[in-house]
């Protein structure tokens, strides 16, 4: 795949680099500040220890030699002590009493604070950094100001080196992490590229192929598995559609052949009126079956495109179901079946009467179709406070448990050998389910092979039931 500015690989690499840059800057600043602080503190601790030692020496001196003045003692002491810090002693009014050798090299300004407690300071003089300690102490029985000061140029130099090395290494590290980020994102997205290439090469004719699943136990693996499940569903749907198209072509071909042959035979020579009627009956039956099939196909297409006009109104479901049952009773009688209706009165629902009629018709028609001669079919309506329960039961051939979850799929027929002759297209229950769906109803099926099936529809009960006058007015119209 081509690398563009919008490519995910590049975006990830840039993000990674920005993150690395921010981390480096934060880490660099923190370690610089911390190192500076540590060096400062250690120097202050050393100065404080030196100051304490100094005062202790002066305080213990008189016991050994009482002839020396304070200045002489200080002089001797500063020779004995390593000359790391310059020692200066002042009267409290600022009059200098003592300055150790080297003090003239720099003049440390007197701090503004009284420095009763120790006060540390940092002074820059003649290009040097000087750390200072001022403290009012008691020496030789007097209160004096003791001032220690020492160059900390090595510290400044060390910090400068650290800073320079950061400035040198940070860009190098940044380049390395940018390259690393790019390589890592490139590797991480390799399975996506493979999947994309594979998905691109899968056409409608090879839906059996599957995407490679990276064994990474991460989101990419889930994505590949999800795509494969989608392909599986697509494959099933396309196979069913192909099968259905073949079946339909075959059925329509058979119908047209039957009609053509019947008509040709009838026209071949002069026939009796009864023979003509028989030929026309055959043609009519074929036409009816074909028309039913075309209606089903149209209903499915419309449902798909959500173009179906749904005319929601208060519907007397009890009446509607009785009407459909009455219409189909003749068909059941042809097979010597009994069709019993046990309908609670006043079951009103909000819906489209023609769609509801179609749904009930499909369920009853199936019950008749899939129940052998002399079977029994029952349709019932009950209601509770919120719902209407419509049940269509039969003691027909039943549905195998493995087929039961699929009967609402489009074009699914448990026994594909049933032909258009029986009006079997595999679309009826799909339409019924769609009708139930648009009415906020749920449709379920239960069945025992050999014992029969039961289809239940649970629909919302209409909240407003029209008054008796309105019902009779509607009946008159």
In the complex, the residues that contact ligand ADP under the rule CB under 6 A are 362, 366-367, 370, 394, 396-399, 407, 412-415, 424-430, 453
Give me the residue label for tokens 């009455």.
326
Q: Dmax of the chain from CA atoms?
A: 165
Instruction: Tell the smallest beta-carbon distance from residue 365 to ligand ADP (Å).
Output: 8
Instruction: Tell the smallest beta-carbon distance from residue 327 to ligand ADP (Å).
Output: 17
β-partners of residue 130 are: 123, 151
Quote the distance between the C-alpha of residue 336 and its chain's center.
57
Q: Which is nearer to ligand ADP, 177 or 395 (CB)?
A: 395
Instruction: Tell the smallest beta-carbon distance from residue 425 to ligand ADP (Å).
Output: 4
Q: Which is nearer to ligand ADP, 316 or 398 (CB)?
A: 398
Q: What is the distance between the alpha carbons of residues 338 and 149, in angstroms, rounded to a whole number?
A: 118
Q: What is the distance between the alpha carbons of residues 4 and 355, in angstroms, rounded to a whole number?
A: 53
Q: Which is nearer to ligand ADP, 308 or 419 (CB)?
A: 419
Torsion of CA 85, 88, 94, 96, to 10 degrees: -150
Instruction: Tell the smallest beta-carbon distance from residue 418 to ligand ADP (Å).
Output: 6
Instruction: Tell the smallest beta-carbon distance from residue 460 to ligand ADP (Å).
Output: 24
Torsion of CA 12, 13, 15, 17, to 10 degrees: 160
Q: Which of 407, 452, 405, 399 is nearest to 426 (CA)?
A: 407
Instruction: Tell the smallest beta-carbon distance from residue 396 to ligand ADP (Å).
Output: 5
Instruction: Tell the smallest beta-carbon distance from residue 9 to ligand ADP (Å).
Output: 49
Q: Which is nearer to ligand ADP, 191 or 426 (CB)?
A: 426
Q: Which is nearer to ligand ADP, 370 or 434 (CB)?
A: 370
Q: Which is nearer to ligand ADP, 146 or 430 (CB)?
A: 430
Q: Which is nearer to ligand ADP, 381 or 432 (CB)?
A: 432
Instruction: Tell the smallest beta-carbon distance from residue 370 to ligand ADP (Å).
Output: 3
Q: Which is nearer to ligand ADP, 221 or 295 (CB)?
A: 295
How far lies 455's CA from each of 148, 212, 330, 416, in Å?
A: 101, 42, 21, 21
Instruction: Tell the smallest beta-carbon distance from residue 333 to ligand ADP (Å).
Output: 18
Element housing 20 (H / E) = helix 8-60
CB 324 within 8 A of CB 377: no
Element housing 176 (H / E) = helix 153-188
Element housing 456 (H / E) = strand 452-460
Residue nearest to ligand ADP as judged by C-beta position: 428
DSSP 75-136: HHHHHHS-TTSEEEEE-TTS-EEEE-TTGGG--PPPPSS--SS-EEEEEEETTEEEEEEEEE
Instruction: Tell the smallest beta-carbon distance from residue 347 to ligand ADP (Å).
Output: 22
Q: Which is nearer to ligand ADP, 241 or 267 (CB)?
A: 241
Q: Which of 212, 222, 217 is nearest to 190 (CA)?
A: 212
Q: Which is nearer to ligand ADP, 17 or 395 (CB)?
A: 395
> Strands 142-151 and 86-90, how do they pair?
antiparallel
Structure tokens at 334: 């042809």
Q: Which is nearer to ligand ADP, 348 or 412 (CB)?
A: 412
Element housing 466 (H / E) = none
Q: What is the distance between the alpha carbons of residues 477 and 474, in angstroms, rounded to a whole number?
A: 5
Instruction: Tell the smallest beta-carbon distance from residue 272 to ligand ADP (Å).
Output: 37
């Amino acid at each position: 795949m081509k690398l563009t500015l919008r490519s995910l690989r590049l975006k990830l690499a840039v993000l990674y680099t920005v993150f690395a840059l921010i981390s480096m800057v934060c880490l660099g600043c923190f370690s610089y500040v911390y190192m500076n602080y540590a060096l400062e503190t250690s120097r202050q601790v050393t100065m404080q220890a030196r100051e304490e030692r100094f005062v202790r020496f002066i305080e213990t001196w008189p016991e050994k030699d009482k002839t020396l003045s304070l200045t002489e003692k200080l002089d001797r002491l500063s020779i004995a002590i390593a000359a790391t810090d310059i020692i200066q002693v002042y009267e409290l009014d600022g009059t200098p009493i003592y300055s150790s050798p080297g003090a003239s090299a720099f003049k440390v300004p007197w701090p503004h604070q009284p420095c009763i407690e120790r006060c540390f300071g940092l002074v820059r003089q003649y290009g040097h950094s000087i750390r200072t300690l001022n403290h009012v102490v008691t020496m030789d029985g007097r209160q004096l100001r003791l001032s220690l000061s020492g160059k900390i140029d090595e510290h400044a130099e060390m910090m400068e080196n650290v800073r320079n090395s950061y400035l040198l290494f940070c860009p190098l590290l940044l380049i390395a992490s940018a390259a690393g980020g790019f390589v890592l994102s490139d590797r991480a997205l390799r399975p996506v590229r493979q999947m994309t290439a594979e998905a691109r090469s899968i056409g409608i004719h090879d839906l059996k192929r599957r995407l490679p699943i990276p064994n990474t136990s991460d989101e990419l693996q889930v994505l590949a598995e999800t795509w494969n499940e989608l392909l599986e569903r697509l494959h099933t749907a396309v196979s069913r559609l192909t099968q259905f198209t073949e079946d339909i072509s075959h059925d329509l071909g058979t119908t047209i052949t039957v009609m053509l042959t019947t008509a040709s035979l009838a026209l071949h020579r002069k026939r009796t009126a009864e023979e003509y009627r028989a030929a026309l009956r055959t043609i009519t039956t074929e036409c009816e079956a074909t028309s039913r099939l075309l209606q089903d196909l149209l209903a499915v297409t419309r449902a798909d495109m959500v173009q179906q006009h749904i005319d929601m109104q208060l519907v007397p479901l009890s009446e509607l179901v009785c009407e459909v049952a009455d219409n189909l009773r003749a068909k059941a009688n042809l097979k010597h079946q009994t069709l019993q209706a046990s309908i609670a009165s006043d079951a009103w629902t909000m819906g489209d009467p023609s769609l509801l009629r179609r749904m009930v018709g499909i369920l009853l028609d199936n019950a008749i179709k899939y129940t052998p001669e002399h079977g029994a079919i029952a349709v019932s309506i009950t209601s509770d406070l919120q719902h209407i329960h419509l049940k269509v039961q039969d003691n027909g051939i039943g549905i195998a448990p493995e087929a039961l979850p699929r009967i609402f799929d489009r074009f699914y027929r448990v026994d594909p050998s049933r032909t258009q002759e029986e009006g079997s297209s595999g679309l009826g229950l799909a339409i019924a389910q769609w009708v139930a769906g648009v009415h906020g109803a749920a449709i379920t099926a239960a069945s025992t092979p050999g014992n029969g099936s039961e289809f239940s529809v649970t629909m919302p009960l209409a909240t407003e039931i029209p008054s008796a006058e309105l019902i009779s007015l509607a009946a008159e119209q």
